[in-house]
Copies of this chain bind each other. A is one copy, B any other.
Amino acid sequence: MTFDPTDPYVHVRGAREHNLKHVDIDVPRDAMVAFTGVSGSGKSSLAFGTLYAEAQRRYFESVAPYARRLLQQTGAPHVEEITGLPPAVALQQRRGAPSSRSTVGTLTTLSNLVRMLYSRAGTYPEGAERLEAESFSPNTTAGACPRCGGLGVDHDVAEDLMVPDTTLTIREGAIAAWPGAWQGKNLLRITKAVGIDVDTPWRDLAKDDRDWLLYTDEQPKVLIRRRGEPDDSTGRDYHGTFSSARRHVRHTLANTKSQMMRDKVLAFVRSTTCAACHGTGLQTESLRVTFGGLTIAEMNALSFTELVKVLRPVAELVEVDVATSTADSGERTEVAVRLCTDLLARVQVLLDLGLGYLSMGRVSTTLSPGETQRLRIATQLRSGLFGVVYVLDEPSAGLHPADAEPLLEVLEQLKASGNSLFVVEHDMDVVRRADWVVDLGPLAGEAGGQVLYSGPVDGLEAVEESATAAYLFGRAASIEGHDRDPQGWLHLRGVSRHNLVDLDVDVPLCVMTAVTGVSGSGKSTLVSQVLAELVRRHLGQAPDDAEDTEVHLDVDDAEGLESFNRLVRVDQRPIGRTPRSNLATYTGLFDAVRKLYAETAEARARGYSPGRFSFNVAEGRCETCQGEGFVEVELLFLPGTYAPCPTCHGARYDAATLEITYRDRSVADVLAMSVDEAATFLADVPSAARSLGTLQDVGLGYLRLGQPATELSGGEAQRIKLATELQRARRGHALYLLDEPTSGLHPADVALLLRQLHRLVDAGNTVVLVEHDLDTIASVDHVIDLGPGGGDEGGRVVATGTPREVSRATGSATAPYLARRLDRRAVATPRS
């Protein structure tokens, strides 16, 4: 236990988390350490699951001993001993749904400074009192617009939604928003009783009557006489109470506990920009204060590139005014200079990281994971932390090679300020820059979990069995190009959205196309929004996700859409949002497994149906955790954490169900198998074997069947979707859209994945990728390079053609990198 403090290493002994094979390893502190290896080899299990988890557990146990019991429930990592491990901070890509109220400004803490700027140094209307900083935040009671509560939107019923068909009469159900059943009849009777004709088509009713029926706040009580009513002869007279359609909708939203009822009435509601605050969410007094002639809402909307232009003149002021508490403006005071200088320094880092096209007001849910991570990394630079370990998850993912360089410089700065960097990384250009590399392998899952090498990067070259070494030192074979010719074109004309302005672009059919460009150049906008939405609408397909409906398209002309008979988006969105979804359920594989168990002799004897083997059904699941295998524990300082269920210990089923076995394994045992294991175990069950085979094809052999959707990375989710697609693959004219499919993948896995994508093209389909990986770009048939920069400086097609052609284009940020890669490919001599 005694420790030499001059020893610069973290010593890990006996790490057995997940697939790690009793790993003993020493990694240096105050250095940048890259953790490499094929997907599933155990990089995250070591860097996050062991080192980060243990560092955090130790620190929190010491700082907040009363949280200890909760911490124990979530369990300590499986490791015998770690010494020399400082407290750690994780900068992960995947996790944590940011709240929709968080923005780039709050994420980076810039908003606090800007609010202080308006509070202390803004220009106020004559005689107005200075406001507190919090009055400039829509998330505080002091600052929120009283009408919309700071949300910036009004939710209100809309006539066209409540009465979708104005040719109907009230009796025929014109007012769709009215409830049904007795209450609907009651309203009809009252309408009749107050003298409105229920048999006139809606559009022919008087405007006054229509408005009264839809909007009145009155609730008149009306005596309803039932005598002679044909449909209800037993009815007695009664006093009925009227509710307008709006009143009914609002009442339901405020009171119902049923999600179904909510959804039903929400269909009559439309969100509009709040008229009081014009969507800013701020109260009026706050919007009267300006800085540089802008309200805080306007400043929040500026891109960082533009923001700098407002701040710099103030930061550079030499002679400053004296601050007085009654002055209307503090824009030229000492405090303004200080705040602007501080803001400038922070914003500069964001510009350096190629994020100049973002604005403070940008809602964080619309950011890509890579953008979020870079914002967090930049923010850390100012955190002043010393002596901690930053554990990062593929910081280069989603980055154009031109953007990766400045990011590495920022990481160097974090290190230079006295911290250690542990980086899980696949980009060989980043790995080359590390001080130390820990390479795991040789393969994934059970066949991985060993340290193949730990030391300075150079030394890895000698390690024969390392897939990383092969790519790092140019021994690996390049991905083969196919040089296919387009079988036609999709011509888009006059496309406008975000930073794409009146853009013309042509997408070749029946080949593989990569859309490239620096961050913010418009790749996702073009592929995942414009292209996806156009084809979807043309095919009349429903959107994948509720969010997609909002895409507003501005396209002059689109020719060639008729070439597609299907649209498949293989994106990184989770395959499910609860631990109840997993690989097996998503791919349909689990149906085969349940059927298998229901057909065993014992199950039949007991009368167990396939449903019994679903952990989502009450019959056979563990009642404590309702089949989740986990129970949620409230960890004081973390958003919500899961601990193994105390009853079934994660098995998810009740004891009786677990008694049913097939080849000596229970259904829970099958869920605990990796895809590779299951492929052997279920080799003779055709429907299962097919699914498992395609999962192996895309490099997911290491995933456990029961691994909850919430634990999968975006890249894994994407490959699961692809596998599901491949499994049903037929010849066809589908358009496959993929957003950075290689992110999170080791080059060896990239090769595997591309082979599958090329199969799809060979079967007649069209594939379009948003991509940064140069090996991948070099291997496609066609490239569309957007740029030249991000935001307003991007949005144009700077080069298009074969990879070779694009590599020769001038003015393209991609060209020089691609050229270098193509040259290297030409030179590299594959060894195997």
Q: Is the CB of B388 within 8 A of A112?
A: no
Chain B nearest CB from A138 CB (Å) reads 13
Q: Is the CB of A83 within 8 A of B384?
A: yes
Q: Is A413 an interface residue (CB 8 A)?
A: yes
Q: Is A182 an interface residue (CB 8 A)?
A: no
Q: A3-B416, A84-B418 are in contact. Are A380 and B89 (CB under 8 A)?
A: no
Q: Is A439 an interface residue (CB 8 A)?
A: no
A59 neighbours in B (Cβ, 8 Å): 59, 87, 89, 385, 388
A72 to B134, CA, bound (A): 11
Q: Is the CB of A638 within 8 A of B64?
A: yes
A86 neighbours in B (Cβ, 8 Å): 86-87, 386-388
Q: Is A258 an interface residue (CB 8 A)?
A: no
Nearest B residue (CB) for A102: B66
Q: Is A326 an interface residue (CB 8 A)?
A: no
A417 neighbours in B (Cβ, 8 Å): 1-3, 5, 83
Q: Is the CB of B72 within 8 A of A639?
A: no
- Residue A66 contacts which of B1, B112, B636, B639 (CB distance < 8 angstroms)? B639
Nearest B residue (CB) for A132: B646
Q: Is the CB of B388 within 8 A of A87?
A: yes
Q: Is A30 an interface residue (CB 8 A)?
A: yes
Chain A: interface residue total (CB-CB under 8 A):
51
Q: Is A107 an interface residue (CB 8 A)?
A: yes
Interface bits A57-99 vs B (CB < 8 Å: 1, else 0): 0111111111111001000000000111111011000000001
Q: Is A109 an interface residue (CB 8 A)?
A: yes
Q: Is the CB of B58 within 8 A of A384?
A: yes
A244 neighbours in B (Cβ, 8 Å): none
Chain B nearest CB from A66 CB (Å) reads 7
A66 to B95, CA, bound (A): 14
Nearest B residue (CB) for A68: B109
Q: Is the CB of B64 within 8 A of A416?
A: no
Q: Is A383 an interface residue (CB 8 A)?
A: yes
- Residue A72 contacts which of B66, B112, B384 (CB distance < 8 angstroms)? B112
Q: Is A56 an interface residue (CB 8 A)?
A: yes
Most buried by B among A66, A380, A383: A66
A2 neighbours in B (Cβ, 8 Å): 413, 416-417
- Residue A63 contacts which of B67, B83, B89 (CB distance < 8 angstroms)? B89
Q: Is the CB of B5 within 8 A of A418?
A: yes
Q: Is the CB of A87 within 8 A of B387?
A: yes
Q: Which of A1-42 contact B (CB under 8 A)?
A: 1-3, 5, 29-30
Q: Is the CB of B3 within 8 A of A418?
A: yes
Q: Is the CB of B386 within 8 A of A84?
A: yes
Chain B nearest CB from A85 CB (Å) reads 5
Chain B nearest CB from A751 CB (Å) reads 37
Interface bits A398-424 vs B (CB < 8 Å: 1, else 0): 000000000000000101111000000
Nearest B residue (CB) for A142: B646
Q: Is the CB of B388 within 8 A of A67?
A: no
A90 neighbours in B (Cβ, 8 Å): 63
A298 to B314, CA, bound (A): 73
Interface bits A372-390 vs B (CB < 8 Å: 1, else 0): 0000100010011111100
- Residue A637 contacts which of B5, B385, B387, B637 (CB distance < 8 angstroms)? B637
A637 to B387, CA, bound (A): 22
A416 to B7, CA, bound (A): 11
A61 neighbours in B (Cβ, 8 Å): 383
17 pairs, CB–CB < 8 Å, chain A vs chain B: A3-B416, A5-B30, A5-B415, A63-B89, A63-B90, A63-B637, A64-B637, A64-B638, A65-B376, A67-B637, A83-B417, A84-B386, A84-B418, A86-B87, A86-B388, A87-B87, A637-B637
- Give chain A's interface residues, CB within 8 Å of chain B: 1-3, 5, 29-30, 54, 56, 58-69, 72, 82-87, 89-90, 99, 107, 109, 112, 139, 376, 380, 383-388, 413, 415-418, 636-639
List 7 A-B pairs, minimum CB-CB distance, nearest first: A86-B387, A637-B637, A5-B418, A87-B87, A62-B89, A3-B417, A387-B387
Given contacts A63-B90, A387-B387, 12 further A-B contacts (CB under 8 A): A3-B386, A3-B417, A5-B415, A58-B385, A59-B385, A62-B89, A62-B380, A64-B637, A66-B639, A69-B139, A82-B384, A87-B385
